[in-house]
Amino acid sequence: GALVYQYPRRTICKSGTSMRMECQAVGFQATSVAWYRQSPQKTFELIALSTVNSAIKYEQNFTQEKFPISHPNLSFSSMTVLNAYLEDRGLYLCGAREGAYEQYFGPGTRLTVL
Amino acid sequence: GQQVKQSSPSLTVQEGGISILNCDYENDMFDYFAWYKKYPDNSPTLLISVRSNVDKREDGRLTVFLNKSGKHFSLHITASQPEDTAVYLCAAGQGGSAKLIFGEGTKLTVSS
């Protein structure tokens, strides 16, 4: 079946440092990958959408300078949170989709910023 | 503004009853509508989805109803069980991409 893995599952970083999270699709081709963040007391916000052979599109309030994303092949994507501060804490989800089929989510990376 | 909205933050239903969860959306271009179930500290799990060319889809105890003219879709859970207690998120998307817009969630509690 289709599975999406994310690692690390939990991470703690000092304020002002950066951390990288990874997303791996197994059993299908992730032609489209979306990264979301759930901040405390909020729903899931879309950060950016990456589609193979297209430029990565960032949503308002999120930039490539702050959340650079790599989507080098149909099974892998990574995102880095640069200069993390308290407001960046939350659960980061990777959602991957093959064409028009269902979207599957990874278990998330929970980021704590000290 | 909120493109996908769940107006009820919580819902309590007696065991055996029907749980009805509602979702409204704004974007006419959405053509994919889904319901996800989420436990605390877990990522959302897809329950059921429907595309814009149908107005109803059933899967076991779950039924999704889509009302395109009203920009509304709902999830009905029949014979609700305590194990159905969770947060339910509706989501909508378009064009076959992984971009989904989520509602804020409705916390369903099924009491025995």
Residue with structure tokens 């759930």? A38
pLDDT of A22 reads 97
A5's enclosing H/E stretch is strand A3-7
A positions 43-82 inside 8 Å of B (CB)? 43-44, 46, 49, 51
Give the closest residue to B111 by CA, choosing from B8, B10, B16.
B16
Contact A47, A67 (CB under 8 A): yes
- Tell me the three state secondary structure of residue A42: coil
Counting residues of chain B whose pLDDT is more than 90, the rounded percentage is: 75
Lowest mean pLDDT among A28-32, A46-50, B55-59, B91-95: B91-95
Q: Could you check whether the bond before residue A8 is cis, i.e. omega within 30 degrees of 0?
A: yes
Cβ contact B44–A93 (<8 Å): yes
A102 touches chain B (CB under 8 A): yes
Distance from B30 to chain A by nearest Cα, in Å? 13
Lowest mean pLDDT among A3-7, A76-80, B82-86, B94-98: B94-98
Chain B positions in Cβ-Cβ contact with residue A108 (cut-off 8 Å): 42-43
Backbone angles phi, psi at B29, to 5 degrees: -80, -10
Buried/exposed code over A42-61 (b: 16+ C-beta within 10 A; e: otherwise): ebbbbbbbbbeeeebebbee
Distance CA A103, CA A27 (A): 13
- Looking at the structure of chain B, the number of domains it has is 1
A16 touches chain B (CB under 8 A): no
Print the domain residue range for B8.
Answer: 4-111
Indicate if the pLDDT at residue B2 is higher than 80.
Answer: no
CATH classification at residue B18: 2.60.40.10
Distance from B111 to chain A by nearest Cα, in Å? 24
Cβ contact A49–B46 (<8 Å): no
pLDDT of B19 reads 98
Distance from A113 to chain B by nearest Cα, in Å? 17
Distance CA A97, CA A105 (A): 9
DSSP codes, A46-108: EEEEEETTS--EEPTT--TTTS-EEEEETTEEEEEE-S--GGG-EEEEEEEE-TTS-EEE---
Give the closest residue to A3 by CA, choosing from B45, B72, B33.
B45
Counting residues of chain A whose pLDDT is more than 90, the rounded percentage is: 74
Q: Show the domains of chain A with their CATH numbers.
A: 3-109 (2.60.40.10)
Partner-chain residue, chosen from B49, B89, B100, that has the shortest CB–CB distance to A34: B100
Contact B7, B17 (CB under 8 A): no
| Residue at B6: amino acid letter | Q
